[in-house]
Structure 1
Amino acid sequence: MTPKQTPQNRPLLPPGWKVPQNFRDRLGHTPGRQRVMEAEGHILIVLHEPPDSDDDTRVGRFYWRDPDGKWMPKALKHGDHALGELLAEYERVIDLLDDREQRSDSAEEYFAILRDLNPLVRAANNLHNTLQKAREAAPDDRELILMRDAAYAVARRVELLAADTRHGLDYRIAMRAEEQAEHSQQMATSAHRLNLLVAFFFPLATLAGIFGMNLHNPLEGMSRQVGPMFLVGVLLFGLMLGGLLTAFVTMPAPRKKHRGRRRNR
C-alpha cells in the first residue's frame, strides 16, 4: 500500500525503508510541495493524491527508487507500477468531472466544476513536472519514462476539461446577457408603442374631459329596444379591441441583421 501523510508524531516515510538519512531530515510533518530528492543513487519522489477543493491540506504519496532500480512501495496489482495506480486515481477523478461537465446546464453547475478543477489542474501539472525531474535523475529507467508520459496525458486532459468548462460557463453567461438585452429591447418597444397611442388619443380624451360626451345618438334608442344585451355587446367589442391592442403592444420587436465583416484576402 502506498505510504500516505501521517500524523505529526509519526514519520512520513516507513521505518523499513533504507533511504539516506538526508531524505528523512528534509521531510517535515507534512509532505509539502511535489518534488524529487536525490542522494547516493537513491531517488525519492514526493507526490500528492488528487486534491479536493474543500481541503486545504494535501495528502502525500511517497515513492522510493534504490540504486538497483527497485521501486517501493509495490503496486497492489501484480505487474503494475505504484505510480501508475496514482495516475489511475487522477483519471477516475477526471472522468467524474467530465461526466458532470457533460450534464451541466447552468452557470452555477459550471462554476462548481471549475472550483473542483482548479486545484486538480495545478496538482496534475506539478505531478508531470516532478516526474520529468525524476526521469532526468534516472534517464535509464524505462518505467519512469512511461509514467512521465502518462502524467503529461493526465495534465493535458485536465487542462482541456478546464478550458471546455470555462467556455461552457462563458456561453451560459453570454446567453443570459443576450436574453436580458432582448427582454429590455422588447420592454422599450412596448413602452414606445404605448406612448404613441397615448399621444394619439390624448387630445380626444382632453376634449371629452372638458366638454363631456353626453350627446344624443341613435345608440340610445337601440339600447332601449334591445335591453341589456346591447351593453353586453359593447363590452365584448371593447374587450376584443383591448386584446388586439395588447397584441400590437407586445408584438416582438424586429431584430437587426448583423452583417459579418469581410475578410481581406
Structure 2
Amino acid sequence: MTMKKTIFPRLLPAIAIFFCTVSILPGCDNVDNDVILKQDGVKALGTLKDGTGESGKYSEYFDVIVEYTDENGTSLTVHKSVTRSDFKSFSKDQQVMLVYSRKNPAIIKLLLTPEEILEYTGIKERDMEIADLNALVTMKKENMDSSLNKITFGWVKNNDTAWINERKNQYIRVFPHEKSIIYIAKSPEYKRFYDLAKQAGYRSVTEGKEGSDLRIFENDSLIIDLNLNRSTRERDISPGNVPIPIKEEVQLSVVTLSKKQPAKK
C-alpha cells in the first residue's frame, strides 16, 4: 500500500520550529537549496494537483501543489512557489520532472527546461529521431525503458507492447510481428518528421489527397506514414475556484514506421 504524506513549507513559526527538528520544512538548513539538490537530489515525476495565485499592485504570489512518489514508495504532497509565467503555462494533473532532496523531501525543484534537467540530473534530453524508431522496432522489451528514458525522461510501460510518457504527451506501441511501430506526440512532431524524412532522402510516395494530412515516405528498407489526429477536449481555464470550462481542438502527430518485408519468391 502506498503511504501518503503532506508537506506544508509555510507554517506558523512555532510549528515550523518543531518540523525543522525532523527535517520536513525547506529553509531550515543554512545550506543553499540548490547545493542540497545537487548533492543528494533524486529525480522523480510529479503531478500538478492544484494552484493558487495572487497579484497586487506591489507584490504577487503563485503557488502549485505537487504530488510525487519518492524512491521508497511514499507519496508526498508539496507546496511550491512558481513564477507567473510558469503558473500560466501549467494545467491541472500535468506531469512535471522534478528533483527532491533525499534528506528533506520538502525541498524540490521543478525542472522545466532542458538546461535545468541537464544541470540537476545529468540527462541531456533530445528529440525522437527516425533512427530511434527503427531501433525500437526490434529491441528487446527489457531494454525499452532505459533506451526511451535516455531520449526523454518519464517513459513507463503501459502494457506488454506499449510505453507512455505523460510528461511529454508521447506514446509508443510496437508491433513485433509486423515489424512496425507507432509514435504519437504533439502536433509539431508531424512537421519535424516530415522534414527529417526529406532531409534523409526518403522518397515521397504520396503528398496526400487535398484536405488529407496523410504523407507517406519510403526508402529501400523503411516506410514512414505521417498523419494528424484531431479531437476536441474540455479544459478549465479558471484562475480561481469558479470553473471556466472551454472546448479546444487537440492535434496529435501519428508517425508509423514499418520495416519492408522481403519479397516473397
Q: TM-score range by the shorter chain?
A: under 0.3
TM-score (norm 1): 0.24
Higher strand proportion: 2
TM-score (norm 2): 0.24
Structure with larger Rg: 1
